[in-house]
Amino acid sequence: MPRYFMHLAYNGAKYCGWQIQPSAPSVQGEIERCLSLKLGQEVSITGCGRTDTGVHARNYYAHFDLEKPIGDCNELVRRLNVFLPNDIAIRRIWEVGAEEHARFDATSRTYHYYICQRKSPFHLDDAYNYNGPLDVEAMQKAADMLFDFTDFTSFSKLHTQVKTNNCKIQEAKWFVDNDLLVFRITADRFLRNMVRAIVGTLLEVGKGRMSLDEFRQTIEKKDRCAAGESVPAQALFLEEVEYPWC
């Protein structure tokens, strides 16, 4: 049974996230529907991870198994892109080994969170608009503390069905990209709502409402109620996913 990898991108504004949900539109559901119709067989796809409602992905990977090989992967990509909604784009489909797995083989995932600090007609739907003062230096010092921890229960959505809240942070950096303030974070895995909760808490530091010591204590408490509010989803993008063979 041949296995295929798929590279895609999507705007998550209209979806409940990547994963199929009862009675709600999902990116996975749209792609499975189109693949099944175009290939004439039921196709189930496995993604590299979940993204929450409203979150986008510039680079996302998934895999699926078929009963027989695809004749022309490039032609299938073209046909899918004609049939799929405009907010989902398939970049590439290629055959891989039967053991390669989109989720379990990923070594890291990178997210960007975009903040627009001045009124802009061009970032209404893809950035968090906040025009108050921020102490970015303090926010970076707080972000550096993330490397000291592996348990991020304080930044996890409550009552999720995961075996562990441990993650290994590999990068956490604030930088400016034109008129946007961007937070870039890379880890081996992320918990549900984790990035948005981290950014919301870092903003509390930047606004002067939380000290650096209090930020550290927030992580140590392992209590979601101790952290800041989650920032809006429309400004969060899954930017990169790394695999050992890439």
Catalytic residues: 52
Contact 135, 210 (CB under 8 A): no
As a whole number of angstroms, the distance between CA 10 and CA 81 comes to 12
- CA–centroid distance for 88 within its chain: 15
Distances from the Cα of 174 to the Cαs of 77, 112, 152, 181, in angstroms?
36, 10, 19, 7
What one-character-per-residue DSSP string does the chain give? Answer: --EEEEEEEE-GGGSS-SS-BTTB--HHHHHHHHHHHHHTS---EEESS---TT-EEEEEEEEEE-SS--S-HHHHHHHHHHHS-TTEEEEEEEEE-TT--TTTT--EEEEEEEEE-S--TT-SSSSEE--S---HHHHHHHHHGGGG-SB-GGGS-TT---S--B--EEEEEEEEETTEEEEEEEES---TTHHHHHHHHHHHHHTTSS-HHHHHHHHHHT-GGGSPPPPPGGGEEEEEEE-TT-
